[in-house]
Structure 1
Amino acid sequence: MKKKQLSALIALAFVSIGGGHNAAYAAHDENLNSYTLDDVVVSAERTKDQFGDTITEQSYYRTGGDVKVITREEIEKRHYVDLTEAIKRIPGITFQNPGYRGGEYGYQFYNNGVSINGDTRVIILIDGRRVDNLTSTRVGGNSKTGTKSTGVNLDQLIGMESVDKIEVIKGPGASVYGPDATGGVINIITRKGGEQQKGTLDLSTGAWHKHNYALTLSGSALPDHSLRYFFTTTRSMSGDTKFVDGVVGGTGTLGGSEYKEDALNIRLDKKLSDKQNLKLWYNFKQGKDGYPISVPSLKYWNEADWDRIIFKAAVGDLNSNNVLQDMTNSQGKWVPKRGDTDVPGYRNLFALDGQVYRSFSKFKDNDWELMWTFNKENGMESFLRLYSQNHRYSNRDYFRWRRDGKSAKDLADEYRAAFPSGATNEQLTQWIHEHLAPFPGGDQARVKEWLEATGGTAKEPTSWQEERNRGIQVQYAKSLGKNDIIASITYDRAKNYSKKLEDDGSVVSSHVGRNSILGYVQDKIHVSDKFDITPALRYSYYSSYESNTAGDKVQGKGSSRTVTPALNLQYTFDYSTDLYFGWTRIYRPLRQGDYTSTDGVFNTPLDDERGDAWTLGIRKEFSEHTSAAVHYDWTRMNNAIATLPIWNGTKFTSTAVNAKEDKKSFNITVDHKLNKYVTMSASYSHMLDKWMAKNGWILDPSWGYQNSTDINTQINRLRPQNHYALNISYEKGRLYTGLLANWYTGASTNAFTSSRFLILDWNLNYELQKDMTVYLVVNNLTNKAYETSYSSYLGLGGAAMPGRSWMIGARYNF
């Protein structure tokens, strides 16, 4: 049925529109008609080098590799509103998303995460500069469970109107960015002003009270046009979103998922000479996002099930006669059961947090960069860069299950005193309505009364995290005959502040800090016009984690240094067939919490993650209309961190260890220009991960679906193994339309509501006049139920993604 669905929609995209002209020839990247590179507008026939790689401001770092570039033209034609929307079309890219914007600091599952070919060790850059913070605990304070990512939420970084290009590099093709980029690199290249004065105004509105506003101004100053400026300000907002329940079907509302986000970006570029220029860049972004935690389960979204769920979670278990059972644990505490396994439908209680109390999360970014380029040679830059990042995160998760601040034990005692021999169903219902929170989807007068009696909606946070980076980078590049040599060194001071507002108005603050020095040298050797070899060495130094909190266990821990090599090569056979190979030694330092991880069988501290990554690929242009690319990626870790079930002599015990990991992925992409109006790109991605115990350990032979928070060890279950994508566009005269189909298969039904799902996104542009374009964007065209992440605590479908939504808008150039 899904194949018929896809075929019908592709046919619709063709027959509903007329014919035209598209100047772009078949390429690995869409919409390469023209784009700006430095001060030069690059035409379609000059977008590639002799190896078939798209040229960008950062491409001199690369030698081969599977690289995709999303241009400004594509961003505007497809109307991507955030980075996730843009990047998800690329083969091998997957996102772990809770189904709403925002997220809670410190918890991996409640944040947006990205992986490349099944690896969350992905580096995020802006204009070639890393934007992660070594002391960040946004997705957790250790590596033993959860993501191995650098803790950056793409959608909170920068507004889309500020983005000129997005460069996605899979594997170790650009080793300059660090020995921990085993999955790859996402490099966001910012917009700069041109010689002509230009402006744009983009306004759109749509489903769920969504509204987007964007204004850009760019141009040049001074008589010689040597000072360029770019300015943009945007606002994006939405009410509560809809979702489709993958268990029972039907569409529900995700209460508390509203958001409002603002962005401001300023970039000034002063040309000092042909080889020198000065860049000043400032970025501000802030948002207040709802915090619904989870979508409700429609199967249990009714008054009777609500009463059952909240009594069991807030008071305790009842037997068949409604007699309260003993919930005392081994420590003598009264502990009711929690989570979907013990309390089916448990996640419905989170509707109190989001829908009733309107819990929320907030973030605010203030970043700047000053960069002096003092020489340019053969496409390379020598520069001095100073930068500062200030990121603030806070949230207010407020709710009340019980009246008057009573504990579960208090209510248990009251219930037992009132009904020592059990209660009738009518008596139980009456007792619940008098003592526990009402069903959010029921009598709204009761809900309002409960809300007012328990303190009203969530107030401003009284505690927050602040991540700060200050750094300097120096790079020197020189061409010597056939050798293009680049050397750089970066010094970064990272701090993470925990702050709390006291009752007297004072702020109590503590922080953890870590400094790093990253050195790099590469020699791109042009052996011939057809053959490049690039050996490289990286030096990484990480200081001890230092805390200003007395008695902190990590005080003075964590100092490490290492040198890691890398080798990349690229060869073109006949200027239509290109082969590349890359190898890099992996080194990923421990995070703060890992230095005290001595739990489980071995009771010893963890070691830094180490291993090797290889990538191999071939690209072939069969004609000016058809090309294909095959990419194979293999990561072999001998010291990866994971929590695994290991035999302790008596039983299998979950233990945080340095284990062996063998991860493989495969991508194939075919680009074809059907005629002068229609272009398409079809791709397939497959990934497989295997974890093994080291010599002398015994790993549970029946180990299957467990430890669900460890995304990396569960790649074969927490991500669909196969990803098929079809990206098709049609352009004629004033009309442009595009359809993106993502089909995922091989998903475990232990974690997903379906083993496969097809997601369609469609857009239509029409140029009313020279400077005015109107457009329509529809996401999740068929209103499909799907998820990209799973937590056993929330149950199947707990992270359902948004259902069908639409936006209609206009873009005016002036």
Structure 2
Amino acid sequence: MNKSRKTNRKVMLTSVICSALMLSTTVMANAEEYRLDEVVVTASKTKEAGNPNITGGDVNVVTREDIEKHNYTTIEEAIKKIPGVQVATPGYRGGEYGYANYNTEVSINGENNIVILVDGRRIDNDVMSYAGNKSKVNLSTITGIDNVERIEVIKGSGSAIYGADAAGGVINIITRKGAQQPTTTLTLESGSWGRHNYSLTHSGSSDDGSLKYFMAIGRQMSKDSKYKDAYTDSTQQYYNTGYRDENGSVNIEKNFDANHSLNFSFSHTYEKAHYPITAADYANIDRLYNGTLSTTSTSPGYRNWFLYDAWLGSYTETKSNDVDLKYTFEKDQDNYLESFIRVYKNYRWYNTADYSDLWGTQYPDLTEDDWAAAKASGNLHTDIETVKGAVLQVGRQLDNHSVTSGIDYRHSEYEGTTSSRRYDSDRDSLRLFSQDKIKVSDKFTFTPGLNYTRYGSTSYNNTKYSTGVTTSSFGDATNRLTFSSFANYQANDSTDVYFSWAQIFKPVSGLDYSRQSASDPLEDEKGTSWTIGTHKTLSNKDSLNISYGVTDMSNAIARYSIRNSTDDGWETKAVNASRKKKAFNTGYTHAFDTIWNLTASYAYVDENYHTKRTTINPDGTSAEQLINAFRPKNVYQLDLGYDKGKWSGDLAYTVYSGCDKTYFTDNRFGIVDIGVNYKLTSQTKVYFKMNNVLNTAYETKSISAYGTGAFPQPGRNFMLGVNYTF
């Protein structure tokens, strides 16, 4: 694929909104409680000290109540308000497999190496990543938001149970289970740009309550979105950004007695999302229409070549089918320990059609036959990820020790095909873990843990590559024993202090080896991560949370794309790099009364890659310039909440600052969102949402090669919905 490819009134309105927010607010999810696994846990209590997953730390939870109150439509939307979590999008849903720049990226404290779980089950693939070195999992392929009970976000390394590669943190998505009483909910939404969302859920149980079930189906669709262009100060259509998303899920659980249960879950998603690559450069659009647009990537308006791809309808399809069977054979209700065995299969299918044959042909020279021929010859490629796994976990309470140990086996496969090539890779992995949560006293818990991870031999496209280490070559097995420790001290009823430290280990994938330079052979990723913080209850109306974390990678792998001089296409390079990431998060909550509440938060991230050996590419570009993540360094959030009688709602103001104007259209963006709910009856709710009320031109990510403003975020848009439960 070819990809070499901003009023006074606003200021016044923004000031008024800011003043209102500062005077008046939604309590943060982790101010009072957080939840992990299937247990509700109050952070300041000591009776849960035995819970193996609660190691103490910076934890936030988005509950089902939050999802319904804010009427979230995607998992990404639900987590992006959490301090330290950034969801950077190109402004559209569709992306291309293997290209981080053209996909939605999720990071925690600036770190993209995060572990995504569904009901505690890993869903990533050990041999490939849909977005290169960025997010390993496409959140839109997991499950529909109507199937989500809560989302748990751990910032910094998580429990040893989660593995040694969770450098940034862990996102655990807990799905919904059946209810004792039969309940059905229908949701209908409609809004800007031809958006329509529909969902139906139903839950129930057997007469004796031992068998419970939950089912959900949903569909979301939209035509092309619009955005505010920063340079022309006009609202423009973001061509080829429409989508259709469908999902379905079922969960069935049979409880045999207090200690034994069997749970089966299945989730299916399908999405066809159009793929524009970038937005047009309207400041230089005339160069395209008059035939003077240059194919040199540094020339003004270069990315307008991608309008051909958009006008021809390039798209990406994704499909997922996940099956999970879990048998629990022992439960310690008092200490939240669980012993179980599970088997599962995760399947991801990506299919991309990129109509790029017209790239480089001047617009005035194109004929109807040229357009027809280009439409008939889309460059197709399909990528399939499959993971089959089994987990055995045993939990035991031994006096003041909550010991959790287990074994996790996974077989990961990848297959990629184009019209002329086929790629494949597979790898077995085995992980042994053990963790002891020690209740040293009523106020202090200490949790040491260890992980032994072994990745079996593998190859990429039947090829082995030298690692530059004389004792091994790519394809050979690799293993490492890593350690972690977590400490939590409750100084008093209002103050909780925590610290965590963990070693990080992640092997090189076969695809990365195929992209290495001969002068820079790749090595496994290694490093450490630590976090320190405190939760402080200031009064019965106020609370404060502060955390600081550092991830220090002695060897990270960075990826970027450069022009291939041989065929005028693009190729991805992978290089060794050192990386140090520093993150600071703080949140303050205040309840004015039982009606009004305020949340204020601040998140800071500073991250830098430094290449070890490769500095200048063959095309003269700087590797360090291309691999560093260009993102806002500061995110400020204010949220004013209201809840009285039948009315509830919130007014949110988000500021992104510290943006490098070399890559962003401004160094600061302010976004206002509003939501209102009205309960017609005990069973019916109507609601209204408006995002980007001021129609601000802004971006949450950038790409150095295509100039500023290549990935604009959606302009002012609204959604009107109704929710009926019976």
TM-score normalised by structure 1 residue count = 0.80
**Residue pairs, 1:256-275, within 5 angstroms:** 256-275=240-259
Structure 1 510/751 Cα, relative in aligned 2: closer, same or farther at 3 Å? closer
Q: 1:157-200 CA deviation, whole Å, 9 max, x = no partner? A: 21000000000110024232121111111111100011010010
d(CA) in 2 for partners of 1:551, 1:589: 17
Map of 2:140 onto structure 1: 155
Map of 2:703 onto structure 1: 791
d(CA) in 2 for partners of 1:691, 1:389: 32
Map of 1:527 onto structure 2: 440
Map of 2:718 onto structure 1: 806
Q: 1:74-114 CA deviation, whole Å, 9 max, x = no partner? A: 10110111111111101111123111002111211111111
Q: In percent, how many aligned pairs have the same letter?
A: 35
Assess if the C-alpha contact under 8 Å between 1:642 and 1:710 holds in 2.
no
Assess if the C-alpha contact under 8 Å between 1:466 and 1:498 holds in 2.
yes
Structure 1 478/609 Cα, relative in aligned 2: closer, same or farther at 3 Å? same
Gaps of 5+ in 2: 1-7, 467-472, 561-571
- 1:638 and 2:554 correspond: yes
Q: 1:433-468 CA deviation, whole Å, 9 max, x = no partner? A: 3x336xxxxxxxxxxx46764364777x85411110
**Residue pairs, 1:151-230, within 5 angstroms:** 151-221=136-206, 223-230=207-214
Structure 1 643/117 Cα, relative in aligned 2: closer, same or farther at 3 Å? same
Alpha-carbon shift at residue 775 of structure 1 (Å): 0.3
Alpha-carbon shift at residue 401 of structure 1 (Å): 2.5
Match of 2:511 among 593, 600, 611: 593
Q: 1:455-490 CA deviation, whole Å, 9 max, x = no partner? A: 64777x854111101010000000011000000111
Map of 1:578 onto structure 2: 496
d(CA) in 2 for partners of 1:209, 1:590: 43
Alpha-carbon shift at residue 9 of structure 1 (Å): 2.8
SS in 2 for 1:573: strand
Partner letter of residue 216 of structure 2? T
d(CA) in 2 for partners of 1:252, 1:684: 32
**Residue pairs, 1:530-545, within 5 angstroms:** 530-545=443-458
**Structure 1 stretch displaced more, 154-163 or 282-291:** 154-163
**Residue pairs, 1:97-108, within 5 angstroms:** 97-108=89-100
**Residue pairs, 1:219-368, within 5 angstroms:** 219-221=204-206, 223-302=207-286, 305-310=288-293, 312-313=294-295, 337=296, 339=297, 341-342=298-299, 344-354=300-310, 356-368=311-323
Map of 1:479 onto structure 2: 397
Alignment root-mean-square deviation, CA = 3.2
SS in 2 for 1:793: helix
Assess if the C-alpha contact under 8 Å between 2:52 and 2:404 holds in 1.
no
Assess if the C-alpha contact under 8 Å between 1:309 and 1:345 holds in 2.
no
- 1:626 and 2:609 correspond: no
Partner letter of residue 97 of structure 1? T
- 1:391 and 2:374 correspond: no
Match of 1:766 among 668, 675, 678: 678
SS in 2 for 1:352: helix
Map of 1:369 onto structure 2: 324
Match of 2:337 among 360, 370, 380: 380
Assess if the C-alpha contact under 8 Å between 2:217 and 2:248 holds in 1.
yes
Say which structure is richer in strand.
2
Alpha-carbon shift at residue 519 of structure 1 (Å): 1.3
d(CA) in 2 for partners of 1:77, 1:8: 25
Partner letter of residue 575 of structure 1? D
Map of 1:132 onto structure 2: 124
Map of 1:741 onto structure 2: 653
- 1:514 and 2:508 correspond: no
Assess if the C-alpha contact under 8 Å between 1:29 and 1:70 holds in 2.
no
Partner letter of residue 646 of structure 2? R
Alpha-carbon shift at residue 530 of structure 1 (Å): 1.0
d(CA) in 1 for partners of 2:580, 2:261: 46
Alpha-carbon shift at residue 605 of structure 1 (Å): 1.9
d(CA) in 2 for partners of 1:201, 1:655: 48
d(CA) in 2 for partners of 1:370, 1:707: 45
Assess if the C-alpha contact under 8 Å between 1:126 and 1:188 holds in 2.
yes
Assess if the C-alpha contact under 8 Å between 2:51 and 2:337 holds in 1.
no
Alpha-carbon shift at residue 698 of structure 1 (Å): 11
d(CA) in 2 for partners of 1:691, 1:556: 24
Alpha-carbon shift at residue 553 of structure 1 (Å): 5.1
Say which one has the larger Rg.
1
Q: 1:629-682 CA deviation, whole Å, 9 max, x = no partner? A: 1101012222233489xxxxxxxxx99654433321111111111111111211
Q: Name the count of aligned residue pairs.
A: 696
Map of 2:564 onto structure 1: none
Map of 2:603 onto structure 1: 685
Partner letter of residue 388 of structure 2? R
d(CA) in 2 for partners of 1:35, 1:692: 38
Q: 1:600-635 CA deviation, whole Å, 9 max, x = no partner? A: 7xx242221112111100111011211101101012
Map of 1:468 onto structure 2: 386
d(CA) in 1 for partners of 2:434, 2:145: 32
Alpha-carbon shift at residue 527 of structure 1 (Å): 1.1
d(CA) in 2 for partners of 1:167, 1:99: 25
d(CA) in 2 for partners of 1:278, 1:248: 59
SS in 2 for 1:109: helix
- 1:88 and 2:80 correspond: yes
Structure 1 31/737 Cα, relative in aligned 2: closer, same or farther at 3 Å? farther
d(CA) in 2 for partners of 1:660, 1:36: 33
Gaps of 5+ in 1: 141-146, 314-336, 403-407, 412-430, 438-448, 503-507, 645-653
Assess if the C-alpha contact under 8 Å between 1:357 and 1:457 holds in 2.
no
TM-score normalised by structure 2 residue count = 0.89
Q: 1:527-580 CA deviation, whole Å, 9 max, x = no partner? A: 112111100000111112235x55565896142101100000101011210000
Alpha-carbon shift at residue 594 of structure 1 (Å): 3.6
Structure 1 553/129 Cα, relative in aligned 2: closer, same or farther at 3 Å? same
Structure 1 52/659 Cα, relative in aligned 2: closer, same or farther at 3 Å? farther
SS in 1 for 2:440: strand
Structure 1 658/349 Cα, relative in aligned 2: closer, same or farther at 3 Å? closer
Map of 2:61 onto structure 1: 69
Alpha-carbon shift at residue 60 of structure 1 (Å): 3.5
